[in-house]
Amino acid sequence: MPTRRQTLVSVITAALWQILPRPVRAADRSLTAFNAAFGERIALPPLAQFQSATAALATAVQSMKQAPDAAGFAGMVQGFHDVSDAWMGLQFLRFGPLTQNQRLDRIAYWPERSNITEKQIAAFLAAADESKLAPASFATASVALQGLTSLERLLFDSEHAADGKPSSEKAMAQLTARTLAAAYRIDLIGAIAANLRQIATESYAAWQDFAARLAKGDQAGFAASPQEATNQIYAGLVTVSQLMGGQKLGLPLGKSLEAAKPHQAEQWRSGRSLRNIARNITTLKQALLSDPAGSAIALVTVPDAAASLRQKLATALDACEQALAGVSLPLDLAVADATARSQVQPLLVKVNQFRDILTNEMPKAAGITLGFNDLDGDSG
Amino acid sequence: MEKARFWSRLAAAITGTTAETRSRIMPEGGARFLSACLGRDGAGSFEAAILEADGRVSMQTMLKMRAHEMALHPSRAICLAAGRQPGRYSTMIDLATGRSLFDLALAADHEFNGHAAFIGAGEELITTEGHVETSLGRLSFYDAATGRWLRAWPSHGIEPHEALVDEARRRMIVANGGILQRQAVGEVESSLVVLDLMDGHVIGRTVLPEELATLSMRHLAMTASGEIAVAMQDQDAQSDLRPLVGIMDLRGRLRFLEIPREIALTTRGYIGSIAVDRASRITCATSPKGNVAMFWSLAEGRWLGAIPVADGCGVAPAGAPGTFLLTGGRGDILLARTLDAADMPMKPEATVLTRNSSWQWDNHLTLLAA
């Protein structure tokens, strides 16, 4: 029969066993402040930009409907580029309201399964059913149809011009023809634009609400605690760096020239593949370094460590930008060219080196626990 | 308590000991578990650990690679830490000392796909492997005492992931994942292949219907009656909600278990691992991205409910019928119960054993025989 002292010792020991291995980390209160500042200063601005870009696109489509000519077409193309630029600024928000209602996938279904987008567009055009374009109905259509992926298909040809530049010759001809088919095509673009604007409006409002709740330590069901929310915010930045490396560069590049897959490059028809990566880099700079309260470097509370990491991140991102400037062809052409491939490979290396800082060096200093399983599955 | 004493007691426990000793050091029906995890030095290293039934860690050892499955020897206190796909190392570990004994002699033109199983009395073990360039699959046999490569059978498919050995029915079941490029979105060539355990000839082959061609069958668990629970990964999760968990019967026919829509939306098409309880009455599948463990009763194929587990992936049957141990990448260890006082399947309930974020548990959890 254990004595009372033995029992007391074992109870204390058991309690210490639970307490001792726990690492020291920032108090929940300061994480609440970070989460709120992130929401206000890092998430809301690009969401606002996305909202205004989608509104402008919708206006451009209205103009096209009034006057379906080359000028109207050019307005839609400009709108497409602005919305795509804005979308690049949102790709790190993989936590919170954009994960609801399949918003992320509906904005852009990518990487895409080959043929699914073509099939969906073809089916819609063949049926030419106006009722399917009504907002409530369209929001439940295939994700392949709802956003930028099909929008690009409708504005750009799948064959480049002779000089390798993006071509819209066929696309424009199909939209400016004075036929019922052309009118429906424009209406379909209008439905996509309206859908994007609706998603943008909902997302901005939802994040406004979410940021306010985060300030009070309320994670609105998206995370179990302020620390969890911070982990998820950070994980979104890691995800974007993995997207840049693995999917935007690695997949088109392949292991060799023979294994190159040029049409896996993001938005290759509109010639945006490298521009998208440049936008991602700019966004990462902002999300990591720009704001004293809401950018990720704010999580590193030890001044020396913060200064060192700030330097490393800035240098690594600059190196990515320099490497990107060294690619002399559009990405889909570069990966299929024996010489240009050797310009893309260093870019991939720099992107992966940057990613490694985010996954290996920074988490501990920032008090972040990166989910082991949700990042990378059972292979890779 | 000194490490040596702990490990020798553990070794005694694993190899069989008196009932009295067992009840003293195994509080919950004798179960303990193996798992790979992230190294706690925060520098991106990897470890393997033994978890007690109450969630305490009683042994840990450093590994040179990230392990996926930890396969336990049928009778000796050793286990094979299978290198995560695409792996160059799989290491035999002495559970009594935590020491690495040897690496398996992997061929230069193949890579480990993360899973392994011992055969028979444990003189040999198999690993799933893929050719480094073509991903064509094979099952390699290794000498369990030395790691020497003995022979290989084709897996009759691309990218084999997990393989189960069913001694009672003299067969091996292999999940050919069929994925050539992990980041690519599209159709895959996945299959479940049943091989004769004597000579590796194909007894049966199950593939999915065309509308489910983006599903990769990857993880397996077997019931006492020989049915196989299968966990899948959707290589085009954005475009639709497709089944992710199925049961294959002895005739090779596959039926699917339903996931309620609001949970299915959070899974992102990925199931981390799957297990069947001790009594073969309940199956559990985990969704790391959805942060839930999901449960069904096997007899009816009925959804029972889900339990939140942050970054949850590892699941293994615990000692009592209807119970499972669950682990998560943020340090959660939970015990789930799915049978009520009347021994009927119920909405699952969980007890949190520990929530220690310095332990980040990796994908799979293995039950150490009690």
A304 Ramachandran zone, left/alpha/beta (phi>0; psi -120 to 50):
alpha
pLDDT digits (tens, 9 = 90+) for B97-118: 889 999 999 999 999 999 999 9
- The mean-pLDDT minimum among A178-187, A337-346, A350-359, B14-23 falls in B14-23
pLDDT-based confidence at A21, cuts 50/70/90? very low
- As a whole number of angstroms, the distance between CA A27 and CA B100 comes to 39
pTM, full prediction: 0.85
- Residue range A228-235: mean pLDDT, rounded: 93
Mean pLDDT of chain A: 91
Report the CATH number that the domain containing residue A295 is assigned in CATH. Answer: 1.20.1420.20
Three-state secondary-structure class, residue B113? strand
DSSP H or E stretch at residue B75:
none
CB pairs under 8 A between A and B: 113
pLDDT digits (tens, 9 = 90+) for A69-83: 999 999 999 999 999
- The mean-pLDDT minimum among A125-129, A349-353, B32-36, B298-302 falls in B32-36
Q: Does residue A380 sit within a domain?
A: no
User: Do B272 and A23 make contact, defined as CB atoms within 8 angstroms?
Assistant: no
pLDDT digits (tens, 9 = 90+) for B79-103: 999 999 999 999 999 998 889 999 9
Residue A260 has pLDDT above 70, yes or no: yes
Cα A106 from chain centroid (whole Å): 12
Q: Which residue of B has its CA nearest to A116?
A: B239
Angle between helices A338-356 and A226-242 (to 10 degrees): 170
Closest-CA distance, B189 to chain A, in angstroms, reads: 15
Q: Does residue A5 sit within a domain?
A: no
Chain A CB contacts of B357 below 8 Å: 22-23, 369
Beta bridge partner(s), residue B355: B332
- Residue range A321-346: mean pLDDT, rounded: 97
Residues 6+ apart with CB under 8 A from A94: A104, A232, A235, A236, A239
Q: Where are the alpha helices (DSSP H) in B16-120?
A: 19-25
pLDDT digits (tens, 9 = 90+) for B149-192: 999 999 999 999 999 999 999 999 999 999 998 888 999 999 99
CB B96 within 8 A of CB B77: yes
User: Do B329 and A373 make contact, defined as CB atoms within 8 angstroms?
Assistant: yes
Per-residue HEC secondary structure of A231-272 comes to: HHHHHHHHHHHHHHHHHHHHHHHCCCCCCCCHHHCCCCCCCC
End-to-end CA distance of chain B: 22
User: Do A251 and B310 make contact, defined as CB atoms within 8 angstroms?
Assistant: no
| ipTM score assigned to the predicted complex | 0.79
Query: For chain B, which domains are there?
Result: 3-368 (2.130.10.10)
Domain that holds residue A364: 26-55+66-375
Residue A321 has pLDDT above 60, yes or no: yes
Q: Does residue A367 sit within a domain?
A: yes
- Nearest Cα to Cα of residue B104 among B89, B115, B93, B119: B89
Closest-CA distance, B342 to chain A, in angstroms, reads: 33
B178 Ramachandran zone, left/alpha/beta (phi>0; psi -120 to 50):
left
How many domains is chain A built from? 1
